[in-house]
Copies of this chain bind each other. A is one copy, B any other.
Amino acid sequence: MTSLENDRFLRALLREPVDRTPVWMMRQAGRYLPEYRATRAEAGSFMALCTNPELACEVTLQPLRRYAMDAAILFSDILTIPDALGLGLYFSEGEGPRFERPVSSAAEIAALEPERAANELGYVMDAVALIRRELKGSVPLIGFAGSPWTLATYMVEGGSSKDFAKVKSLAFNEPKIMHQLLSKLAQSVAVYLSEQVRHGAQALQIFDTWGGSLSHDAYREFSLRYMTEIIEQLPREADGCRVPVIVFTKGGGQWLEAIAECGADAVGLDWTTDIGLARSRVGHRVSLQGNMDPTLLNASPDRIRAEVAQILDSYGEGTGHIFNLGHGVTPGIDPEHVAAMVEAVTELSPAYH
């Protein structure tokens, strides 16, 4: 890690001593930044931005020019894999991501070719390699993917869902078919993340956005199991450095003990979890990432600072905390409020180390 100017993010993930709590922000390369919106307009569409390595690199670096973030995260989308599997990803205004060809039947699922995804996603690997080069050793680069369960929800529902009726019906009525789908996705995600590491990613995050829609038993059977399988297959080192893995299940606060055993180095927390309590439950085995309510970025800079102080204090002294939001930053946020959050972390956290 000595080749990095700033390695406190990686050190905190491995629970090694740091000078202050590292900070980054889920979706930090995003619509709340005017410079992002300009690049997005230049690209013409969201997918055009994702598939153009130069532009994806540009938006990845934009937040680092404004804020003292301790990590960069690849600009991409969790649905690149289903798109590469042939489902036809598109974005409709106000409705979020949609698929032209959702899957649900045994035949459709049997026809999916996991190895196809790897071949189609060269544009992501080109972006990873370019961003890593352009970072010039300043901060580490995070690669990421969606969890198999989360990808499956979009693939079966055809897009976002309120109650996940279709995908849950498949899971409850046809568990074998569901497991076949999840197995294939786990295989794709494992290859995809391994390739990201080979191209330069120095840490990985698995986004399990919809694992929290399940009961505890169903979560273990349909989501956690496949994240565990993926982590077992990932390279644990690159260039002699350990590549830490973060698992983030939104709504998973009740299941931290189980999540902490999946092989990840760190567990992401949404804002409904008390981080101090989480530390007492699983902090002896994993680092914790989070967990300010993203809507707090609508509050005044003073209120934001008070919330940062509260979260730092709740976690308490010592390493193992990576400051973040409890979910991605939302489009309407004032960039100055993000600055207030980052400044509060950098100014207030040294007292805990």
A303/B173 contact (C-beta < 8 A), A163-B295, A165-B295, A273-B254 known: yes
**Would you call A41 an interface residue if the criterion is a C-beta within 8 Å of the partner chain's C-beta atoms?**
no
A168 touches B215 (CB 8 A): no
Contacts of A272 in B (CB 8 A): 212, 214-216, 219, 251, 254
Minimal Cβ-Cβ distance residue in B for A291: B215
Tell me the smallest distance from the CB of A169 to a CB of chain B, in Å: 4
| Cβ–Cβ < 8 Å partners of A298 in chain B | 165, 168-169, 172-173
The answer, yes or no, to whether A88 is at the interface (CB within 8 Å) is no
Q: Which residues of B contact A254 (CB under 8 A)?
A: 253-254, 272-274
Q: Which residues of B contact A294 (CB under 8 A)?
A: 163
Which residues of B sit under 8 angstroms from A296, Cβ to Cβ?
A: 168, 172
In the bound complex, residues from chain B placing their C-beta under 8 Å from that of A173 are 298-300, 303
Cα-based distance from A163 to B250 in the complex (angstroms)? 14
Please tell me which one of the listed residues B164, B168, B310, B330 contacts residue A217 in the complex, with CB atoms under 8 A apart. B310
**A165 contacts B216, C-beta separation under 8 Å:** no
Contacts of A277 in B (CB 8 A): 216
Q: Per-residue CB proximity of A204-218 to B under 8 Å, as 1/0?
A: 000000001011111
Most buried by B among A215, A253, A310, A326: A215
- Does residue A293 face the partner (Cβ distance < 8 Å to B)? yes
* Residues of chain B lying within 8 A (CB to CB) of residue A218: 293
A310 vs B215: C-alpha distance when bound (angstroms): 12
User: Does any Cβ of B come within 8 Å of A332's Cβ?
Assistant: yes
| Closest chain B CB from A306 CB (angstroms) | 10
Residues of chain B within 8 A (CB-CB) of A274 are 215-217, 254
Q: Mark A263-303, 1 if CB is under 8 A from B, else 0.
A: 00000000111100100000000000000011110111001
Q: Is the CB of A330 within 8 A of B212?
A: no
A219–B294 Cα gap in the complex (Å)? 15
A188 → B minimal CB distance (Å): 26
| Closest B residue to A167 using CB positions | B295
Give A299's nearest chain B residue, CB to CB. Answer: B172
Instruction: Name the distance in Å between A259's Cβ and chain B's nearest Cβ.
Output: 13
- Write out the residue numbers on chain B whose beta carbons fall within 8 Å of the beta carbon of A212: 272
* A163 contacts across to B, CB distance below 8 A: 294-295, 330
Q: How far is the CA of A332 from the CA of B168 in the complex (A)?
A: 14
CB distance from A292 to the nearest CB of B (A): 8
A305 CB, min distance to chain B CBs, angstroms:
12
- Give Cα distance in the complex from A139 to B212, angstroms: 35
Q: Is the CB of B215 within 8 A of A293?
A: yes
| Contacts beyond the supplied A172-B296, A172-B303, A216-B273: 11 A-B pairs with Cβ under 8 Å | A165-B295, A168-B298, A169-B298, A172-B299, A173-B299, A215-B271, A215-B293, A216-B274, A217-B310, A219-B272, A254-B254
**Chain A interfacial positions (CB closer than 8 Å to B):** 163-165, 168-169, 172-173, 212, 214-219, 251, 253-254, 271-274, 277, 293-296, 298-300, 303, 310, 326, 330, 332
Residue pairs across A and B with Cβ atoms less than 8 A apart, 10 shown, are A163-B294, A165-B330, A168-B298, A169-B298, A169-B299, A212-B272, A216-B272, A251-B251, A253-B254, A254-B254
Give me the 5 closest cross-chain CB pairs, A-B, nearest first.
A172-B299, A168-B295, A169-B298, A216-B274, A215-B271
